[in-house]
């Protein structure tokens, strides 16, 4: 059985060869005074339809249309080829017509988010497995609520037990909002531990004002905070893993709308050229 | 501690939030579009909304009746069966307040996609159905050349048929585009007509604009040669380029403008720029660059011979012998632009050596004349029953040339009978010696004589109009007023009338009779045996009218009143214009030798019927006193400045051309050349006249001015004389373009001979053919230019080696 690395290497080589062949073919077209833009455009459009079909294929899992993972591989490498084709299609120039600029911008968004998504989907899972408990994204609000309730109960019990409001004051000041929702998205995205360190520092600063019992309570409270922080980390990465598709898929369909308009305009105004 | 977990500080065990198990967690369905609205609070119900987003939760469970009791069915993940249990009516005791379901992540994503597509369609529709649609779909700025004249949105229709009519400022609508895109598209050639609306008058596009190189396909095919690049020169680039499709051309081998000229690339885009590979797309023989594989210049720049026949090497050698300088700059100077080197005029370049040859043409051309006729033979012929030519002037017989000049032959050929008569006389036979001539030849000679008489009759009565009619008929062309003026060189009508009166005074009466078929006076009768002649009494010899007349005048019909003095033989040498022999010496006649009769004055204002005074009766025994008269120069000397004069000695009206570029000779050569078809081997009057003029009077003209076979617009072949050096039209676009200025500015190329190396040449062979394109460097007198010489500088990183640097695509010739 092929290892992932070997499969990726052979797929990349095949992709590069295909892209090179396409470039040579289009260059030869141009040298023969034929309009390579028509050829490259239609190939590009066909590939875009195949790429878009991946999303549709996932909606019909019951049909025998190859495995989704196979489709994903095809989607990835064809997507790389479209970058080469697009550059060949525009002739390595920046378009400057209204319609063309729109299409180019949408394509850049689609391709850019696609590459970003490739990077995210390859790097985030590893990060997710390293820190915090890997929980289902749909259940994260439930677990956040659980931690919030747990922390709140601990603080209320501490007030009753110690007859002081030190911990409660701190909870109200810093932790109530922290537990009310998912926090520190950008910090967790860039793997920053600053929020965690900030809490650790605050707990350490609070320590001089605490009795022994309060210190125990704060110790438990801090663990809940750290679990919440890990949950935030998981939430941030998983949200990003789901969120990039919002841009990628939406931009893809918008791009298709403008591309269809572009095809109609080109064929109406091409003046018989091929 | 397990990575990714947090430990409980009390127990030290990892804190686990997520539990998997039937009783611990519920099944998540992320593909469903809606989720419970309380999920964000962390307390979603376990029922969840339906697919349309309606909350289905009313209570925490749906009790189930078992026997006579209702049982709580709350799932274990929600705490299991409650303590209270269902109400007696079977409803759950714990009601749930309905929530407002929210979209799941997938549902939200679907919403985003939907609205994104809707927004895209809306924006697109808003723009495409607005007046700004043409600006929106324009794929880029126009080049500066077009952008200056095509500014508003209506400009799209100037080039694009699909953009609608030029009247509509907003252009065509999107539905029309859809129709155009899905329907039969306009042809590229038809679309090119939009380009040609403005560019039809551009040099190079006036004729065959869509054909390769703007030349006729047949000519293109004919110009193909078999030169190929050297073997093994085909690079990987060309092998890869051959993967492309055939060059897009229509069935009639035309190429649309937009195939090469791509617009909408920005204002700095060069529409005419093509890569070397694109230039060679249509060529079968391809090469890599100028220095690598370009066909050798076997004929450039000498593929077409020069209009002026000039032997450079011969002149150089001659100048050196005469220790004169012969510098290229003496004759070749740059034009105003510096691009071309133009040849100086005759006056500037050639006259210092060659003008003297043209200033003394001797007697000049014998244009209109009487041929010498064998009167005796023809008279005998008439007496034996043949036709009679009428009275022929005395002296116009054996003593003058019996051949007709090219001018006379051409004028006489307008009459078919005379033309046939001319053809019947062999080339070696002369009209003044018909010894051994056949009956038909004698009849032909008589016909020729009458033809000459008719000519002089017509000239005397109708003047130039008669000339024009005859020339037009002979040459089968029209002669307009300007051409007639040049062909006649303003021959005074009185001159021809005077000649007629002097030489053929009876033609005004006899020609009409002849034309009417009536007998003319003094027709010889059939001879009978003459009686023995009586012994004549001694009669005084009549005073001789001509110096050299040794024979007594025989009894003849009345001779014309004007009796001519016999001319001096010395002055009749024939008609070579540039005969350098010094034979035109004026002979000073002694007073005694002067003719007794006074010659009529050319400008005599007397009546037309000039009656020449009868020769004075020779006194019987008296001797005329010696006449004291000024010596009379020969007529050609009296016409020293050129022009027409009467030469009574040879019965000819001669024209004396003096100097270079004489209009008379030039027009005759041009007119007869125009009437000469090089395609036809058959001789026509015009061709015969042209050939004769070339060999005789015109020899010196065509010695330097080459003759080319050309075709007019209707495809008719004719000859053309190159009177001027190479003339370049201001808008000329040859296939190969060369600009002398930047090259001459280089010190290394200041000497013309660096590129134009003279060699010994065969000038005659160069101009032996009438095809101006059949030339070669060997004939041009220069060694051919080589590719390597140009490629020394013209490389990609030096002076550049783009095809368009030296070649035009749209050419005019």
H helical segments located in A60-189: 68-89, 98-130, 140-162, 166-170, 176-180, 185-189
Answer whether B4 touches A (CB < 8 Å): yes
- Residue B328 scores a pLDDT above 70: yes
* Residues in A touching B13 (Cβ below 8 Å): none
* Residues in B touching A227 (Cβ below 8 Å): 6, 15, 17
CB hemisphere CA count around B391 (13 angstroms): 22
Residue B702: per-residue pLDDT: 83
- Residue B635 scores a pLDDT above 80: no
Taking the C-alpha atoms of residue B554 and residue B536, their distance in angstroms, rounded to an integer, is: 13
**Predicted confidence band at A273 (pLDDT cuts at 50, 70, 90)?**
confident
User: With an 8 Å Cβ cutoff, are A272 and B187 in contact?
Assistant: yes
Residue B446: per-residue pLDDT: 94
Residues with Cβ within 8 Å of residue B633, at least 6 apart in sequence: B586
DSSP structural state of residue B571: G
- Residue A189 scores a pLDDT above 60: yes
Residue B162: per-residue pLDDT: 81
* Residues in B touching A131 (Cβ below 8 Å): 3-4
User: With an 8 Å Cβ cutoff, are A273 and B188 in contact?
Assistant: yes
Taking Cα atoms as reference points, which of A258, A256, A250 lies closest to residue A102? A258
User: With an 8 Å Cβ cutoff, are B244 and A264 in contact?
Assistant: no
Answer whether B162 touches A (CB < 8 Å): yes
Q: Give me the percent of chain B exceeding a pLDDT of 70.
A: 78
Best residue of B2, B5, B6, B35 to probe chain A, by most A CBs closer than 10 Å: B6
Residues with Cβ within 8 Å of residue B469, at least 6 apart in sequence: B414
* Arithmetic mean of pLDDT, B176-189: 79
CB hemisphere CA count around B452 (13 angstroms): 33
- Residue A107 scores a pLDDT above 90: yes
Answer whether B36 touches A (CB < 8 Å): no
User: With an 8 Å Cβ cutoff, are A271 and B260 in contact?
Assistant: no
How far are the Cα atoms of B51, B499, B526, B571, B644 from residue B598, in angstroms, in the given order?
138, 15, 38, 21, 21
Taking the C-alpha atoms of residue B249 and residue B217, their distance in angstroms, rounded to an integer, is: 13
**Predicted confidence band at B471 (pLDDT cuts at 50, 70, 90)?**
very high
How far are the Cα atoms of A150, B134, B285, B362, B622 from residue B352, in angstroms, in the given order?
123, 70, 50, 20, 58
Q: Min CA distance, B284 vs chain A (Å)? A: 12
- Residue B222 scores a pLDDT above 80: no
**B303 compared with B657, residue with greater pLDDT:** B657
Beta strands, E only, B243-402? 332-334, 341-343, 365-369
B99 neighbors B91 (Cβ within 8 angstroms): no
* Arithmetic mean of pLDDT, B574-598: 42
Question: What's chain B's Rg over C-alpha atoms?
Answer: 52
Residue A120: per-residue pLDDT: 95
B674 neighbors B387 (Cβ within 8 angstroms): no
| Burial call A186-214: b when 16+ CB within 10 Å, e when fewer | ebbbeeeeebbeebeebbeebeeebeeeb
* Residues in A touching B111 (Cβ below 8 Å): none
Q: How are strands ordered across the β-sheet holding B652-656?
A: B365-369, B652-656, B643-647
With helix as H, strand as E and coil as C, how does A180-195 read?
HCCCCHHHHHCCCCHH
Q: Mean pLDDT check: name the lowest of B141-155, B719-733, B769-783.
A: B769-783
Q: Min CA distance, B61 vs chain A (Å)? A: 20
Q: Which residues pair with B807 in a beta bridge?
A: B736
| Peptide bond just before B301 cis, omega within 30 deg | yes
pLDDT digits (tens, 9 = 90+) for B376-428: 999 999 889 888 888 899 888 888 888 898 899 999 999 999 999 999 998 88
User: With an 8 Å Cβ cutoff, are A245 and B160 in contact?
Assistant: no
* Average pLDDT of every residue of chain B: 79
Q: Min CA distance, B67 vs chain A (Å)? A: 37
Q: What is the DSSP string of B192-205?
A: HHHHHHHHTTSTT-
- Residue A54 scores a pLDDT above 70: yes
Token pair 């004028």 is at which residue? B411
* Residues in B touching A142 (Cβ below 8 Å): 39, 42-44
- Residue A268 scores a pLDDT above 70: yes
- Residue B585 scores a pLDDT above 60: no
Q: Which residues pair with B6 in a beta bridge?
A: B15
Greatest mean pLDDT among B292-301, B316-325, B351-360, B506-515 lies in B506-515
Taking Cα atoms as reference points, which of B544, B560, B557 lies closest to residue B612? B560
Q: Min CA distance, B485 vs chain A (Å)? A: 56
Taking the C-alpha atoms of residue B384 and residue B434, their distance in angstroms, rounded to an integer, is: 15
- Residue B124 scores a pLDDT above 60: yes
Residue A152: per-residue pLDDT: 94
How far are the Cα atoms of B381, B441, B444, B445 from residue B386, in angstroms, in the given order?
5, 11, 11, 11
- Residue B627 scores a pLDDT above 50: yes
- Residue B497 scores a pLDDT above 70: yes
Q: What is the DSSP string of A97-124?
A: SHHHHHHHHHHHHHHHHHHHHHHHHHHH
DSSP structural state of residue B153: G
Q: Min CA distance, A101 vs chain B (Å)? A: 9
Tokens for A66, please give them. 């190859």
Residue A28: per-residue pLDDT: 85
pLDDT digits (tens, 9 = 90+) for A237-254: 999 999 999 999 999 999
* Residues in B touching A135 (Cβ below 8 Å): 17-18
Q: Min CA distance, A199 vs chain B (Å)? A: 15
B17 neighbors A148 (Cβ within 8 angstroms): no
Who among A29, A99, A138 is closest to B136 (CB)? A99
User: With an 8 Å Cβ cutoff, are B243 and A227 in contact?
Assistant: no
User: With an 8 Å Cβ cutoff, are A253 and B140 in contact?
Assistant: no
Q: What is the DSSP string of A24-54?
A: HHHHHHHHTT--HHHHHHHHHHHHHHHHHHH
Who among A29, A134, A142 is closest to B245 (CB)? A29
Taking the C-alpha atoms of residue B644 and residue B646, their distance in angstroms, rounded to an integer, is: 7
- Residue B307 scores a pLDDT above 50: yes
- Residue B142 scores a pLDDT above 80: yes
Taking the C-alpha atoms of residue B364 and residue B220, their distance in angstroms, rounded to an integer, is: 47
User: With an 8 Å Cβ cutoff, are B121 and A257 in contact?
Assistant: yes
**Predicted confidence band at B537 (pLDDT cuts at 50, 70, 90)?**
low
Q: Min CA distance, A126 vs chain B (Å)? A: 11
- Residue B583 scores a pLDDT above 50: no
Residue B601: per-residue pLDDT: 41
Q: Which residues pair with B720 in a beta bridge?
A: B708
How far are the Cα atoms of B499, B545, B560, B612 from residue B616, in angstroms, in the given order?
22, 10, 14, 11
Residue A155: per-residue pLDDT: 94
How far are the Cα atoms of B238, B355, B496, B673, B769 from residue B709, in angstroms, in the given order?
41, 28, 35, 9, 9
Q: Give me the percent of chain B exceeding a pLDDT of 90.
A: 16
B370 neighbors B651 (Cβ within 8 angstroms): yes
ipTM: 0.92
**Predicted confidence band at A77 (pLDDT cuts at 50, 70, 90)?**
very high
> For A146, which residue in chain B has the nearest alpha carbon?
B42
pLDDT digits (tens, 9 = 90+) for B86-122: 999 888 888 888 899 999 999 999 999 999 999 999 9
- Residue B625 scores a pLDDT above 70: no
Residue A50: per-residue pLDDT: 94
* Arithmetic mean of pLDDT, A165-184: 94
In chain B, residues 5-24 whose CB comes closer than 8 Å to chain A: 5-10, 15-18
User: With an 8 Å Cβ cutoff, are B243 and A28 in contact?
Assistant: yes
B293 neighbors B229 (Cβ within 8 angstroms): yes
Token pair 């010496």 is at which residue? B585
* Residues in A touching B240 (Cβ below 8 Å): 24, 27-28
Residues with Cβ within 8 Å of residue A220, at least 6 apart in sequence: A154, B9, B10
* Arithmetic mean of pLDDT, B692-711: 76
Q: Mean pLDDT check: name the lowest of A117-131, B263-277, B429-443.
A: B263-277
- Residue B267 scores a pLDDT above 60: yes
B655 neighbors B636 (Cβ within 8 angstroms): no
User: With an 8 Å Cβ cutoff, are B43 and A145 in contact?
Assistant: yes
Q: Min CA distance, B2 vs chain A (Å)? A: 9
Residue B575: per-residue pLDDT: 42
**Predicted confidence band at A87 (pLDDT cuts at 50, 70, 90)?**
very high
Taking the C-alpha atoms of residue B678 and residue B690, their distance in angstroms, rounded to an integer, is: 12
In chain B, residues 368-397 whose CB comes closer than 8 Å to chain A: none
Answer whether B268 touches A (CB < 8 Å): no
User: With an 8 Å Cβ cutoff, are B244 and A24 in contact?
Assistant: no
* Arithmetic mean of pLDDT, A74-98: 92
* Average pLDDT of every residue of chain A: 91
pLDDT digits (tens, 9 = 90+) for B593-609: 444 444 444 444 444 44
């Amino acid at each position: 059985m092929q290892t992932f690395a070997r499969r990726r290497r052979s797929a990349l080589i095949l992709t590069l060869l295909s892209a090179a062949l396409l470039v040579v073919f289009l260059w030869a077209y141009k040298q023969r005074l034929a309009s390579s833009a028509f050829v490259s455009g239609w190939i590009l459009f066909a590939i875009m339809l195949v790429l878009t079909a991946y999303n549709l294929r996932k909606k019909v899992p019951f049909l025998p249309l190859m495995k989704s993972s196979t489709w994903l591989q095809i989607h990835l490498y064809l997507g790389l080829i479209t970058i080469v084709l697009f550059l060949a299609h525009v002739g390595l120039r920046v378009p400057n017509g209204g319609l063309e600029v729109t299409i180019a911008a949408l394509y850049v968004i689609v391709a850019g988010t696609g590459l970003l998504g490739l990077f995210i989907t390859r790097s985030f899972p590893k990060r997710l497995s390293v820190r915090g408990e890997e929980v289902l994204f749909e259940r994260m609000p439930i677990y956040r609520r659980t931690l919030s309730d747990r922390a709140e109960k601990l603080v209320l019990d501490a007030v009753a037990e110690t007859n002081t409001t030190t911990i409660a004051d701190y909870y109200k000041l810093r932790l109530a909002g922290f537990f009310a929702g998912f926090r520190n998205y950008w910090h967790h995205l860039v793997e920053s531990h600053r929020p965690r360190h900030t809490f650790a520092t605050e707990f350490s600063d609070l320590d001089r004002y605490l009795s022994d019992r309060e210190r125990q309570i704060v110790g438990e409270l801090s663990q809940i905070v750290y679990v919440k922080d890990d949950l935030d980390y998981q939430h941030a990465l998983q949200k990003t893993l789901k969120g990039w598709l919002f841009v990628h898929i939406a931009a893809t369909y918008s791009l298709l709308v403008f591309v269809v308009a572009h095809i109609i305009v080109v064929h109406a105004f091409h003046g018989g050229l091929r | 501690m397990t990575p990714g977990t947090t430990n409980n500080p009390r127990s030290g065990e990892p804190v686990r939030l997520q539990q998997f198990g039937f009783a611990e967690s519920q099944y998540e369905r992320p593909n469903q579009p809606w989720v419970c609205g309380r999920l964000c609070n962390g307390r979603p119900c376990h029922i969840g909304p339906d697919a349309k987003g309606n909350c289905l939760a009313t209570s925490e469970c749906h009790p189930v009746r078992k026997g006579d009791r209702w049982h709580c069915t709350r799932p274990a993940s929600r705490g299991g069966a409650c303590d209270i249990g269902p109400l007696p009516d079977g409803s759950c005791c714990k009601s749930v307040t309905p929530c407002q379901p929210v979209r799941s992540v997938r549902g939200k994503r679907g919403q985003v996609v939907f609205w994104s597509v809707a927004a895209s369609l809306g924006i697109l529709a808003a723009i495409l159905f607005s007046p700004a649609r043409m600006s929106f779909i324009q794929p880029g700025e126009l080049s500066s050349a077009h952008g200056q004249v095509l500014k508003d949105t209506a400009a799209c229709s100037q080039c694009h048929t699909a953009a609608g009519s030029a009247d509509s400022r907003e252009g065509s609508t999107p539905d029309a585009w859809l129709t155009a895109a899905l329907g039969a598209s306009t042809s590229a050639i038809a679309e090119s007509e939009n380009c040609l609306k403005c560019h039809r008058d551009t040099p190079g596009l006036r004729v065959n604009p869509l054909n390769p190189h703007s030349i006729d396909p047949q000519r293109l095919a004919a110009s193909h040669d078999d030169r190929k690049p050297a073997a093994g020169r085909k690079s990987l680039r060309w092998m890869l380029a051959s993967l492309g499709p055939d060059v897009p051309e229509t069935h009639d081998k035309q190429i649309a403008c937009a195939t090469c000229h791509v617009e909408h690339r920005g204002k700095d885009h060069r529409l005419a720029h093509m890569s070397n590979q694109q230039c060679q797309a249509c060529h079968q023989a391809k090469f890599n660059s100028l220095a690598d594989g370009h066909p050798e210049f076997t004929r450039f720049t000498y593929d077409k011979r020069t209009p002026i026949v000039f032997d450079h090497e011969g002149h150089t050698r001659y100048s050196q012998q005469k220790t004169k300088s012969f510098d290229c700059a003496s004759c070749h100077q740059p034009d105003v632009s510096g691009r071309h080197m133009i040849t100086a005029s005759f006056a500037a370049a050639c006259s210092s050596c060659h003008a003297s040859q043209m200033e003394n043409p001797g007697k000049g051309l014998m244009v209109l004349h009487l041929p010498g006729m064998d009167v005796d033979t023809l008279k005998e012929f008439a007496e034996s029953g043949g036709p009679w030519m009428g009275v022929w002037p005395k002296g116009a017989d054996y003593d003058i040339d019996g051949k007709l000049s090219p001018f006379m032959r051409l004028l006489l050929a307008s009459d078919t009978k005379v033309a046939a008569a001319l053809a019947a006389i062999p080339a070696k036979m002369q009209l003044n010696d018909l010894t051994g001539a056949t009956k038909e030849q004698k009849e032909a000679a008589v016909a020729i004589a009458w033809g000459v008489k008719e000519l002089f009759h017509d000239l005397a009565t109708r003047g130039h109009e008669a000339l024009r009619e005859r020339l037009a008929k002979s040459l089968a062309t029209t002669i307009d007023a300007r051409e007639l003026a040049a062909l006649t060189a303003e021959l005074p009508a009185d001159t021809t009338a005077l000649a007629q009166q002097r030489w053929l005074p009876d033609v005004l009466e006899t020609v009409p009779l002849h034309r009417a078929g009536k007998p003319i006076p003094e027709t010889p009768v059939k001879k009978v045996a003459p009686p023995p002649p009586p012994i004549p009494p001694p009669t005084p010899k009549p005073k001789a009218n001509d110096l050299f007349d040794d024979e007594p005048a025989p009894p003849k019909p009345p001779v014309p009143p004007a009796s001519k003095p016999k001319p001096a033989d010395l002055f009749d040498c024939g008609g070579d214009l540039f005969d350098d022999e010094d034979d035109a010496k004026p002979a000073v006649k002694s007073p005694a030798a002067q003719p007794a009769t006074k010659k009529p004055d050319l400008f005599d204002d007397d009546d037309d019927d000039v009656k020449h005074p009868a020769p004075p009766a020779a006194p019987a025994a008296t001797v005329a006193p010696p006449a004291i008269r000024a010596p009379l120069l020969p007529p050609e000397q009296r016409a020293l400045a050129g022009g027409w004069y009467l030469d009574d000695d040879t019965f000819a009206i001669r024209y004396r051309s003096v100097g270079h570029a004489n209009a008379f000779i030039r027009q005759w050569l041009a007119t007869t050349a125009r009437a000469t078809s090089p395609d036809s081997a058959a001789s026509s009057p015009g061709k015969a006249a042209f050939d004769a003029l070339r060999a005789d009077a015109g020899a010196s003209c065509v010695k330097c001015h080459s003759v080319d076979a050309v075709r007019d617009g209707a495809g008719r072949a004719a000859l053309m004389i190159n009177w001027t050096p190479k003339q370049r039209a201001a808008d000329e676009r040859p296939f190969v373009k060369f600009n002398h200025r930047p090259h001459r500015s280089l010190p290394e190329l200041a000497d013309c001979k660096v590129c134009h190396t003279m060699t010994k040449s065969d000038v005659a062979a160069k101009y032996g053919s009438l095809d101006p394109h059949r030339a070669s460097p060997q004939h041009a007198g220069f060694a051919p230019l080589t590719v390597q010489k140009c490629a020394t500088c013209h490389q990609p990183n030096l002076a550049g080696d783009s095809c368009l640097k030296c070649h035009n695509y749209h050419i005019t010739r």
